[in-house]
Structure 1
């Protein structure tokens, strides 16, 4: 997915949809849908690789997040400031943090499924969600990467992205705890993202406790190509509560 600085802060039209158990209006911090899209786009960019392209977008990011509530905008602004001051040194820190440490994985399904066949099934559901909304991602990136999911929410279907993030709320908390433990500046992006979501409920706290005690499943089988491409899989994607993805087709998106 390409960087999208031209969209920063632009309002997004609401689209109709069936009722959902949880909605973007249920976050810990009160945000308009436009603010939520801006926040998620900022997170999407800030958890991406901090190369020259991202550094060029930091001034626009700073302006956009200044309009967000403090609980979201302050941590995002702190990370922007860190990246501005760090320059290219942030690239090494990013690789050390996210590429070599599984505890800090940016791939949401890893926390629930580890390297098991079940993760391949979960990836099907992400990719089908994007495809139903008229968006495709390249073969060089996995659909559960946090940057991809947040970008999908910013420019695709806000409600479906919300459901994906909420379903993996325990994994996000594990990532937040790991980054906190490392005293990583990127914890600010996850703090801001979590502020836009509901707090962990009892089931979520139990899931985090299990992950802290046992870690993700460890069956090392790789990711099957059949599972990764929903065009090869006849089964409809559903959420864990049994409801189908409700993404609505559209003609615009990151890729269509």
Structure 2
């Protein structure tokens, strides 16, 4: 892990915000977002986030919004819900979501109504707020899902791949066991067992981020 805790928190918070739906408030905060990116000490990550911002802020708002929906809401392979990659639509996923909720509750984090705890912007915001150890544990535990999402974004050629590259750049390296598991999941896909999980939805279709994005932090907060 090549970045100090304060810089990792800064990275996680900014990426959390940039992975939300690009509404008018976000797109109008270009100056604050660039200022927040400039304060990242990790040179590679700073360049990755800056490159992403160059694309996002140059795009027409309707095109940026359409791209977000097509990337995260309409493609099961690149959904932002991390437990889906490992557990699919199974009872194990319900338990994984419960464990995450309990972890958040222990640190005073309350989710918005209908919000699932495995949404990557939520997981990143928790890591930024709580810090190394307990705060970053969900990122480490769901590293396989993060890597599968990262691969899917790279294959799609979307600029959002830069944000996943930025996150993984400051996480511990994956193990050989992780690589084997990721390769197996990439071939077989997540397990399926829909009985009793109707309320959880399916992959990236879970929450309609285009309609109600997670407010990781305000643009002004990201610039602090």
The TM tier, using the shorter chain, reads 0.7 to 0.9
Tell me the C-alpha RMSD between the 2 structures.
1.9
Q: Which runs of 5+ in 2 are unaligned?
A: 201-215, 218-224
CA drift at 1:157:
4.4
Structure with more helix by fraction = 2
Choose from 186, 189, 192 the match for 1:215. 189
Assess if the C-alpha contact under 8 Å between 2:5 and 2:131 holds in 1. no
CA drift at 1:222:
5.4
Deviation string 1:199-235 (CA, Å, 9 cap, x unpaired) is: 1111110111111110111222353779xxxxxxxxx
Structure 1 match to 2:204: none
Deviation string 1:10-53 (CA, Å, 9 cap, x unpaired) is: xxxxxxxxxxxxxxxxx1xx212111111001110111101112
Structure 2 match to 1:136: 110
Q: Distance in 2 between matches of 1:126 and 1:157?
A: 16
Structure 2 match to 1:149: 123
| SS at structure 1 position matched to 2:28 | helix
Q: Which runs of 5+ in 1 are unaligned?
A: 1-26, 227-252
CA drift at 1:95:
0.4
Structure 2 match to 1:92: 66
Assess if the C-alpha contact under 8 Å between 1:108 and 1:168 holds in 2. yes
Assess if the C-alpha contact under 8 Å between 1:97 and 1:104 holds in 2. yes
Choose from 30, 35, 44 the match for 1:71. 44
Distance 1:159 1:61, change over 3 A: farther
**2:30 pairs with 1:53:** no
